[in-house]
Amino acid sequence: MDTGYYHSPVGILEIKADDKAIISVQLCDKIAWRTKSKNPIIRQSIIQLSEYFAGKRRSFDLPLFAKGTEFQEKVWDALLQLPYGKTVSYAEVAKIVRHPKAWRAVGSANGKNPIAIIIPCHRVIASDGTLGGYAHGLDIKKQLLDLEKQNK
């Protein structure tokens, strides 16, 4: 497994991949001196993330391998279908994955999303329109939603 770092507008993203797919994208709190990776998948992810933050990319075209429970993987697959700039509620995602009463479990699956931003769990909000939660903090969730709103 290889690791690369991308200095994004919301913080340093640590990107992990093998020779077949992205395995993890997470905000990290360490200083990353090594930003270039020889892994072509990591390099492509950095290009696509740069385009996303510049408002030029609305979806990602990368091989992903997000490992979780069967339910978590269903939720993450559903999140990949959410349109850029659109938000849905945890309850709506629960209906999409055919577990209409499992909105709390959807929130838990969101919190365990191993591939932040690319699997857009930041687009899921509470039914009352508030932001709900976000594993990397509500300020970053708001920044991502604002970015998408202004580039819609």
Q: Active-site residue numbers?
A: 121
* Strands 88-89, 124-125: pairing kind: parallel
Q: Which amino acid is at 120?
A: P
Q: What are phi and psi of 11, to 5 degrees?
A: 135, 180
Query: What is the rounded CA–CA span in Å between residue 14 and residue 108?
Result: 22
Query: What is the rounded CA–CA span in Å between residue 69 and residue 114?
Result: 12
Four-residue CA torsion sign, 14, 19, 21, 23: negative
Residue found under tokens 């365990």: 112
Four-residue CA torsion sign, 5, 28, 66, 75: negative
